[in-house]
Structure 1
Amino acid sequence: MEYRAIVMGCSAGGFDALETVLRKIDRDFQIPIAVVQHVSPDFQNNIACLLNSRVDINIKEAEEKEKLCRGNVYIAPRDYHLLVEDDETFSLSMEPHVNFSRPSVDPLFESAADVYRESLIGIILTGSNHDGSEGLKRIKKLGGMSIVQNPDTAYAFEMPRAAIETAGADYILELDEVSEFLNGIVKGR
């Protein structure tokens, strides 16, 4: 199976989890990754800039109508839902909060599932609510792969546990296993 996109969601403890995963992604990684990290609208730092200074892969904040390109990690801007359109570009939405959050994981996962279907990988990392579980369920329903961080070792277990209970998981991995697994997929292992 050739995967064309990866979507990833996290909340409490998410910045450290993202750094752990993205730090070990190969520099020549060829699948675009879109990320929703719950952040307060008052948060003044740019997560993409912070992560970009700590990892080798290119990380940027997603922009309206931007095409998903290989080798990039896109972070949802604060206070906007991040969606994937049929033409494989992003759209930013100010629609109401979903699961008490904007950005929310579910809108990204559901829109990406509709576009990429079986060539999508959805990943739920640490977090303290159930956001992402319905989106991961849609990814699986349309033939995509689901990966969930082991809730027993996550900083906050609620998001991973809800994802497993609602959607099931093709793989339950320790945080430090996620990047190795993704690198293996790209290399055909």
Structure 2
Amino acid sequence: MYNADYKIIVIGGSAGSFSVLSSILADIRPDFRIPIVLSLHRLKHVRSGLVEGLSLKSAIKIVEPNDKDKMEPNTVYLAPANYHLFIELDGTFALSTEEPRNHSRPSIDHTFFSAAYAYRDKAMGILLTGANRDGALGIKAIADKKGYTIIQDPATADIDTMPKAALELFKPDEVVSPEQIVQILNSLPS
């Protein structure tokens, strides 16, 4: 079972994940304190709209961080379009325009790798629906550092390639529906 002192929750998703994330953010309690970092595949030439769209449902503030911004509690951070988002050891963000990984920038793997390295067993990783393998190695890295791992049940995913790719690599702590993800998050202490 999970412990009670997570310092970060990282969520990755691609095709089909906007509606899943919207429903998760709509149902997370407003006093949720643990910073949530979203790494979503998005169109590189469309720079606005996603924060606004997710904010319509969320009682928690959603922002795109700038390079060297410090993570704050009770905030959801969305990787900016066409930037990799890394989490540093000091709890700040680093943005990068290095080459895409798995044809993606932002890359879920990069965000998850950095969260695993910086927070080890204090990280929780959640991988949602998607159409490629990005995120599979990253969520395994969180598991390897004793963080808690949740994969959306492929049977509930619009496109099951991403969750299935992760399930081919390792056995996560949970394979659950989006509704069960919300229950797990809301069970964490504030």
Q: Give the TM-score normalised by the residue count of structure 1.
A: 0.96
Structure 1 unaligned blocks of 5 or more: none
Which of 52-61 and 73-82 deviates more? 52-61
Paired residues in the alignment total 187
| Contact 2:47 2:81 (C-alpha < 8 Å) held by counterparts | no
Detail structure 1 runs of 4+ shifted over 6 Å in the superposition: none
Structure 2 unaligned blocks of 5 or more: none
Identity value in percent: 40
User: How far is 1:44 from its partner?
Assistant: 4.3
Aligned-residue Cα RMSD (Å) equals 1.1
The Cα offsets for residues 144-188 of structure 1, whole Å up to 9 and x where unpaired, read as 00000000110110101111111321001101211111110226x
User: How far is 1:21 from its partner?
Assistant: 0.9
Residues in 2 aligned to 1:180 and 1:8: alpha-carbon distance in whole angstroms: 15
* Superposition map of 1:1-189 within 5 A: 1=3, 2-186=5-189
Residues in 1 aligned to 2:48 and 2:19: alpha-carbon distance in whole angstroms: 15
| Contact 1:32 1:69 (C-alpha < 8 Å) held by counterparts | yes
| Contact 1:136 1:167 (C-alpha < 8 Å) held by counterparts | no
User: How far is 1:42 from its partner?
Assistant: 2.0
The Cα offsets for residues 124-162 of structure 1, whole Å up to 9 and x where unpaired, read as 001011110101111011110000000011011010111
Residues in 2 aligned to 1:127 and 1:4: alpha-carbon distance in whole angstroms: 25
User: How far is 1:43 from its partner?
Assistant: 2.1
